[in-house]
Amino acid sequence: MDIAAIKEQLPIREVLQHYNLYPDKQNRLRCPFHDDSTPSLQVYYKTQTAYCFSSNCATHGKSMDVIDFIMHLEKCSKHEAIEKAKTLIGGDNQLQRLTRQAVLTKMFSYFKNAVYNSKPAQEYLQARCIDYKQTEVGYNAGQFHHGTRKDEALIKSCVEHGLLSDVGNKSRTGDTAYNVFGKWCIVFALKDSSNHVSGLYFRSTLNNQDQRHFYLKERAGLYPKYPATDTKKLIFTESIIDAATLLQIPAITAQYSVLALYGTNGFTQEHQAAIQSLTQLEEIVFWLNADQPGAEATSKHASALQSLYTKARISCVKMPQGEDINSVAQAHDNTDVFIDLLEQRTTDFSFSIEKENNNAGEQKEKAKLFIERGAPKHPVQSALSTPTGELDSTNPYKLRYESDTAYYYVQGGLPKTTDNMKIMLVIEDKASGQKARNRIDLYEDKQVEKLCKEVGEKLSLPAATLQADLYRLTDLLEQLIEKQLQQTRPSEQALPVLTAKEREALQQFASKPKLIKRLNELLGKAGIVGEERNRIFLLIIAISHKTADTLHALIQGSSGSGKTRLLKQVSDCMPPESVTRLTRLSDKVLYNFPENYFVNRLLCLEDMDGLSEEAEFALRELQSNGELNSATSIKLENGQITSGQKTVRGPVASLSCTTHGELYEDNMGRLFLIAVDESQEQTGRIIDYQNSVAAGEINKEEEEKAKQLIRDFIRLLRPERVVNPFAGKIQLPPEAHKIRRLNDLFQGFVKMVTILNQYQRTRDAKGRLVTEVADVETAIAVMFESIVLKVDELDGSLRQFYEALKNYLQKRHKDKYQTAEFSLREIRQALKVSKTQVFRYTNDLMRLEYLQQCGGYGNKGFSYRISYWDHYQAMREKIRAHLDEQLQALKSGTLRNTSGTLQPA
């Protein structure tokens, strides 16, 4: 073999692959002849050469063919390189050819995997009612010999066995270009008597009427396989697709073996040999297409087999005219239709496709089939059941009505009202299975008459019968719509009514002294751990929803502090018919509630931080004004568009939570600020409660009883008018934030305390409840922390962190605490606060000039010092003394005016 022949027969691509070298998309690779960090070797498939552009390469400036490449890489002589090239072509190391069985087995495994990655194949199989996950089927996309899948031995074997053919063309890389047999086809395996793949059948997925069926050359094997030796009943189908369809029906495969013929004339010696091996065979069933060739083939093969196998019964299944097994599967949802057709098989083969012999009943010998029907029947599109005349609404999107002549299907659901009856109607002839599909309004008589006439002509059914059926169907659909409308109407739940005995017991409860204290204890029994002041505070605010002057609260706390849980527990103690609990609000949702939905209702928002600015504005207006008014465009009955007004009325009480209380400046004056207890002591109480619950020591029934008692007590309360003779006798701290609104909130809270004690208070001449000093004292005691928060410029969680920081520095640095420096990591570990919270608290305190940086570096961390040591406890004591002094003066009957002079209370 000369050098020219070697170069012609040995492409450079094969040489590169032999040395495990694979160029990139630009046909470049790292040069193997020198240390190359970036691809500098360019491969030219057109000239079958390679060239290195690096000046560091020994081959630089030289274009290498396959022999030169081998010589440089092997570091051998020219003669040795030529001998090496000969072996690569196929000399001493000639590629081992694969056997036909090995090739077909390997390729069918590849084709089966390809189905899972091919959408067209899956769609085609789904259209043909073939489950590719249940059936052994593959797909040939014609790519198995390309790219990294290229295997020279396999390619040569595929050429030998007909899967590829060499037409003499070359690809852009200089390689041989092949034509693929059965490209874009689904693939079924034919198997020999040893159950090995011995042939392949290809069915085109393209709409090609001329060529759709392809068998590999030297066809051998049967589909799906040779029947088991103990087979007693055997079914022959005309095509492999039909056989695959039957193999998906467990009721048939449990008692029958299935074999596919290769068309009407495709009964081969292998089929006959397979039958001869079945010593226990009792019956052979021919299930071929219902056309003239199928009928002729059935008679031909049945006669031939009957003469050979006299002991076996030969029968056939008669299909609807023009149908085959797979087309029936596409037209019906339920496989029971095949069982029924199989039950009606006959031993009479003297039928005609053009016209059935109506007298053949006397000549037929019915074969009996005993099939275990494991799965229950579902409503399907088959003409098998007895007419009922009733509407089957098992599937609301495919209603079914059956008459004596046809099936009627309403697909896609029904209209929501009864002013029209526009539906998608499918009419199926019972006898032929033909269908007519139309969109129609059953309330339009002219449409119904026209439809019945057209469908009657198409399906050969009496138009009058169809019209009567549709009138009956219309009545049934009306009844169903009315039933659905009744089910969707919101049912008004009856409000709980207290019995006389319950009222008497609750009045006794409300008449005993220290009612507020006893309510607080009930909250503890209801599962609210700690938070003694906050829980009763929130309960009183929540109860205000029954009055005209409602109250509102904003619960502040860091993430995970339990603020949402506190809100939920308090709202659980409220009558559920009066509570609306929401996680978030969309921008305009509050404007779209029914007009009186929020009247005397408690609104609980679990997270204010998720509200948009528009939603916050609507909530503020509903809280302050007690109603929302929005102008909108409305369409009149005559089609005219005009302006209109939509109103949502209150009053509404509200409880909400936030981690950033200072961000809601506009809301602060409208509500009470409540800071959750984030102390270590409260954490310990919560953990003890959780442990007790886990240990089964907490009686949940007792907790529910406590909640129910509180709910019933709230139902007992009446929204009374209140007069407070001490309204001007208590002066709140003037430095409080927005003192005007705070004073209004204070007076409203005193009023609520009086209403809670309505069974213990006297009335004036106008029937109004009269506030007592005890009510004022209780109100101050309960809302003291909220008053302090109004005075303090730090919000609740920030104040708790700042006080904990000061206490830590005082304990650690003793007398030098005022000049002590600290890092954020030190504080995070000492106070057991997360990094994110410490960072946020520190930034807030620096912004308010309570902290300052005093050293450190950005990469190692900064150090901080407290720059403003406020006297928080002193401020609290001052406020408490200020309020206590006024309370004592009220009790003693004297007060001091603004100049300090005593005056009668």
Q: How confident is the model over 804-857, as pLDDT tens digits?
A: 898 888 888 888 888 888 888 888 888 888 888 888 889 988 888 889 888 888
Predicted local confidence at residue 374, as pLDDT: 38
Angle between helix axes 739-756 and 773-791 (nearest 10 degrees) is: 150
Q: Specify the DSSP element, H or E, that contains 451.
A: helix 445-459
Q: Which residue has the higher pLDDT, 759 or 389?
A: 759
CA gyration radius for the chain? 45
Output DSSP code: residue 584: -
Top pLDDT among 195 and 352 is at 195
Chain mean pLDDT for the chain: 83
Beta strand ranges found along 752-868 (DSSP E): 769-770, 821-823, 851-857, 861-866
Judge whether 452 and 466 are in contact, CB under 8 Å: yes
CB 314 within 8 A of CB 345: no
Task: Give the number of other Cβ atoms within 10 Å of residue 66's Cβ.
Answer: 27
Q: What type of residue sits at position 491?
A: S
Distance CA 709, CA 718 (A): 16
Beta strands in 711-790 (DSSP E): 722-723, 769-770
Q: Give me the helices (H) in 90-191, please.
A: 100-115, 119-127, 152-161
Q: Which of 482-486, 603-607, 636-640, 818-822 has the lowest mean pLDDT?
A: 636-640
What pLDDT is recorded for position 713?
A: 93
Contact (Cβ atoms closer than 8 angstroms) between residue 848 and residue 835: no
Please list, residue by residue across 516-555, b when 16 or more beta carbons sit within 10 angstroms of its beta carbon and e when fewer do: beebbebbbebbbbbbbbbbbbbbbbbbbbbbeebbbbbb
Q: What residue ranges do the domains of the chain occupy?
A: 3-89, 95-220, 222-372, 391-479, 500-719, 796-870
Average pLDDT over every residue of 98-122: 85
As a whole number, mean pLDDT of residues 757-771 equals: 91
Say how many C-beta atoms besides its own lie within 10 A of residue 695's C-beta.
Answer: 8
Give the chain's end-to-end CA distance (angstroms, integer).
Answer: 129
For residue 247, CA distances in Å to 195, 281, 338, 344 come to: 17, 19, 12, 19
The predicted structure's pLDDT at residue 795: 76
pLDDT score of 688 more than 50: yes
Does 500-719 carry CATH code 3.40.50.300?
yes
Worst-scoring range by mean pLDDT, 83-97, 303-317, 389-403, 476-490? 83-97
Residue with tokens 């392949």, as numbered in its chain: 200
* All residues at 6 or more sequence positions from 302 whose CB lies less than 8 Å from its CB, including other chains: 284, 286, 314, 316, 349
Q: What is the pLDDT of residue 71?
A: 92
Mean pLDDT, rounded, for 131-155:
77
pLDDT (tens digit per residue) in 579-595? 999 988 888 889 889 88
| Highest CATH level, class, for 222-372 | alpha beta
Q: How confident is the model at residue 759 (pLDDT cuts 50, 70, 90)?
A: very high
Q: What percent of the chain is modeled with pLDDT above 70?
A: 89
| Beta strand pairing call for 185-191 and 197-204 | antiparallel
- Residue 354 confidence (pLDDT) above 50: no
What pLDDT shows up at residue 380? 33
- Return the minimum-mean-pLDDT range out of 191-200, 237-246, 348-357: 348-357
Q: Is the peptide bond before 379 cis (omega within 30 degrees of 0)?
A: no
User: In whole angstroms, what is the distance from residue 258 CA to residue 314 CA?
Assistant: 15
Long-range contacts of 480-488 (CB under 8 A, 24+ apart): 480/391, 480/393, 480/399, 480/414, 481/414, 481/415, 481/416, 481/417, 481/418, 482/418, 484/414, 485/417, 485/418
Selection from 56, 188, 172 nearest residue 128 by Cα: 188
The burial of 743, by beta-carbon neighbours within 10 Å (0-12 exposed, 13-18 middle, 19 or more buried), is given as middle
Reported as a single tens digit per residue, the pLDDT across 863-889 is 888 888 877 778 888 888 888 888 888
Count Cβ atoms below 10 Å from residue 399 Cβ, excluding itself: 24
Superfamily for the 3-89 domain: Zinc finger, CHC2-typedomain (3.90.580.10)
**pLDDT bucket at 26, cuts 50 / 70 / 90:** confident
In 734-820, DSSP assigns E strands to: 769-770
Residue entry with tokens 């090609």 = 208
Extended beta strands in 706-764, E state: 722-723
Per-residue tokens: 523: 């909250």
- pLDDT at residue number 441: 92
Quote the pLDDT of residue 308. 81
Q: Which residue has the tokens 């008497």?
A: 504
Q: How many residues does the chain have?
A: 905
pLDDT value, residue 364: 38
Class of domain 796-870: mainly alpha
pLDDT at position 376? 36
Instruction: Quick: pLDDT tens for 287-302.
Output: 999 888 998 899 898 8
The alpha carbon dihedral of 825, 830, 831, 834 has a sign of: positive
Burial of 278 by CB count in 10 Å (0-12 exposed, 13-18 middle, 19+ buried)? buried
Of the pLDDT bands very low, low, confident and very high (cuts 50, 70, 90), residue 375 is very low
- In this structure, are residues 412 and 397 in contact, taking their beta carbons and an 8 Å threshold? yes
> What Cα–Cα distance (Å) separates residue 375 from each residue in 250, 372, 379, 749?
10, 9, 13, 68
Cα(387)–Cα(375) distance, integer angstroms: 22
Correct CATH for 95-220 of 3.60.110.10, 1.10.260.40, 1.10.3210.10, 3.90.980.10: 3.90.980.10
Rounded Cα distance, 121 and 184, in Å: 8
